[in-house]
Amino acid sequence: MSSTDPIAVFRIEAAECLEQIEAGLLDLTHQLDDKALIDAVFRGLHTLKGSGSMFGFDALAAFTHHCETAFDRVRKGEAPATAELVAAVLDAQDHMRALVDDPNGDHDATSQRLLAQLQAAVGGAAKPAQWVTAAAPASVVTDKRKTWRIRFSLPLNAMINGTNPLGLLDELRDLGECRVVANTSTIPSLSALVPTELYLSWDVTVTTEQPRSAIDDVFIFVMDDMQLDVEEIDGNAVVATPKEAVVSAAPAAPVAPAAGEIVPVKREAPAQVAPVADQRQAKVTESVRVPAERLDELMDRVGELVIAQSRLSQLASASADIGLRSVSEEIERLSGELRDTMMVLRMVPVASLFSRFRRLVHDLARETGKVIELVTEGETTEVDKTVIERLADPLVHLVRNSIDHGLEPPEERFAAGKAEAGTITLSARQSGGEVIISIKDDGRGINRERVRAKAESSGLIQPGQQLSDAELLQLIFAPGFSTAAQITNLSGRGVGMDVVKKTVEALRGAIDIVSLPGQGSDVSLRIPLTLAIIDGLLVRVGAGRYVIPLSAVEECLELSLEEDLRSRGRSFISLRDSLVPFLRLRDVFRTGTKPDVHQKVVVISTGTERVGLVVDQIIGDHQTVIKSMSKLHNDVAHFSGATILGDGSVALILDVVHLVTVGQQQEAHLRAAG
């Protein structure tokens, strides 16, 4: 059994906490008076400070304390929430990440600079001592003592989740003179009692000089899941005594609050054992945090199982043993279900990818002086986690390019009759076995004349060379290609779009561009849903066997030898009144074999483009565990990977995008030749 490093766990949780803080700050930029958002940011900063201190990240705790103090003042109405404050805390948040990653580094200069920026943003009204020490949070002392009655109960699973009610009571005692009464009336009988669950509730009377907000602060981390009632009373108010509370919890009596003022607690009937057990089990299975590398390891095991199952199926099909065939079919069913379950585990919503761009757009808007609105659509679309990780950098380049080259400055947009704010839309949707991620802007569009001039001057194309519109737009992905007049912090070196193309191709994906002058551009990335195991169509060409991704297959047709001979020189088939180009894979792969008498045409497509692939035989469907090509074979065209068949031999996986492109180019040449 492997042990878990608590520091590593803290870093993961700190990263999640910082993401939540960032999301709250970015939302706050649009609604500076939203108290719920202010409270959420404050809670996040408070959590980060507390957990950082607990795990020994003292520099982080001390620095975060200042940001927390600033938002505490905003929360209490002592300072306004301003765009400058949000920007200062966003900058400070980046520093917090550095303090998490390198707690022992030299961060003093940066800390002081950011604290000065924070102090200026919050109005400079705070006492200097608040900004240079990590003392206890500031409190506002009132001149008049008040008595509060606090009745609260926690969720049944509070102690399982690490909440200690005694700590809450101690914090209430710290506020002033305190009397605590425990309500034991909801404790079930011994046979129904679950030791890890919390059945008590409390009635507390506190006399203190602290304001009401100090009481709320005690429950700030559990407030969302608990029942809490706080009311101000005078010093002569009567409350339940401990004796009364004990009497009300007499074992034989059904639940009946002895003191009518006690807050009712909604819980399961204590005598019903089974529902309580079911509820406990349901809570345990809510969610489990699993390291990504363990999922990768499990995926590898599932892949090996699928290969072994394929081999078993092949042996069973050649055997007359009915029992062996039955077992083989059962194993095939189970491995298929296991594979599907594993695929779901690896899927994550694309929202986790899109959320990263809110901060990027916010920062770029400040840097460029443009007014930018980010719109996200289809955030619930799920994609393999590996795809998500690899798409992050390409999307950064595309968004930066859209903002720098696409969106116009406000005055130019106004002159063009557009809204002052430019829009960047990130969207995701599933289409068959692909997910399509689109980056769209409503800017000026791609200047085709400038693209052609740059391509001709750099030798990418010949002067006057005929290109389709799609081919011309694809030139922007060429290495070193840039139409920028000068190099800026955002673009101009011609590297970003090259990175986009290489990454998408490595994912077996494709890029489509649509751009209209004055209306903006839409770049769509078509990416396979998963990179691990796919359903494939196993075919034979000559003596070799190949796999075609089943998600790309539209239909299969028979191509007789006579039809093959008649189509020599034109390579088109008529498919429901439309001509579809086809490739003879036997010629493409130069097998040197004679065609079978009854060849087959497998029609594949990528979006709207279709191409037929002529093969000698269709063997059948095949669960394909994708193995990467070796470095030696990385530049071999036509193939995107390899897989191991049931008999231990290797079959190459056809690169559908590449073959469709080749087929379309062949069609264009034939049409041009008449």
3-state secondary structure 82-147: CHHHHHHHHHHHHHHHHHHHCCCCCCHHHHHHHHHHHHHHCCCCCCHHHHHCCCCCCCCCCCCCEE
pLDDT in tens, 103-114: 888 888 888 888
Give the relative orientation of helices 6-28 and 35-54 as an angle to the nearest 10 degrees: 160
Architecture of the 348-447+494-528 domain:
2-Layer Sandwich (3.30)
Question: What is the pTM for the complete model shown?
Answer: 0.59
| Fold designation for 533-673 | SH3 type barrels. (2.30.30)
Q: What pLDDT score does 425 carry?
A: 94
The strands making up 520-528's β-sheet, listed across from edge to edge, are 372-377, 422-431, 434-441, 520-528, 510-516
Q: What pLDDT score does 660 carry?
A: 78
| Alpha carbons 638 and 237: distance in angstroms, whole number | 84
Domain 146-233 of CATH type 3.30.70: yes
Residue owning tokens 């443009």: 370
Per DSSP, 162 falls in state T
Q: Which residues lie closer than 8 Å to 650 by C-beta, 6 or more apart?
A: 642, 643, 644
CB half-sphere exposure, 597, CA atoms < 13 A: 0
Average pLDDT over the chain, rounded to whole? 78
Domain boundaries, the chain: 6-123, 146-233, 348-447+494-528, 533-673
Q: What pLDDT score does 424 carry?
A: 93
Q: Which residues lie closer than 8 Å to 376 by C-beta, 6 or more apart?
A: 351, 354, 357, 425, 426, 427
Q: Give the angle 49-50-54 at the CA atoms, nearest 5°.
A: 115
**Mean pLDDT in residue range 586-606:** 84
Name the phi and psi angles at 52, rounded to 5: -65, -45
Please give the single-letter amino acid code of residue 316.
Answer: A
Burial of 121 by CB count in 10 Å (0-12 exposed, 13-18 middle, 19+ buried)? buried
Q: Give the angle 428-429-430 at the CA atoms, nearest 5°.
A: 135
Report the 10 Å Cβ neighbour count for 435. 25
Burial of 231 by CB count in 10 Å (0-12 exposed, 13-18 middle, 19+ buried)? exposed
Lowest-confidence region among 113-127, 182-196, 307-321: 113-127
Residue 313 in 3-state DSSP? helix
Helix %, strand %, coil % of the chain (to 5): 45, 20, 35
Residue 573 in 3-state DSSP? strand
Topology match between the domains 348-447+494-528 and 533-673: no
pLDDT higher than 60, residue 142: no
Tell me the Cα Rg of the chain.
33
Q: Provide the pLDDT confidence category of residue 326 given band limits of 50, 70 and 90.
A: very high
| Alpha carbons 355 and 167: distance in angstroms, whole number | 36
Q: Give the angle 191-194-197 at the CA atoms, nearest 5°.
A: 150
| Fold designation for 6-123 | Four Helix Bundle (Hemerythrin (Met), subunit A) (1.20.120)
pLDDT higher than 60, residue 294: yes
pLDDT higher than 80, residue 558: yes
Ramachandran category for residue 141: left, alpha or beta (phi over 0 → left; psi -120 to 50 → alpha): beta
pLDDT in tens, 614-670: 999 999 888 788 777 777 776 777 887 888 887 778 889 888 877 877 777 776 676
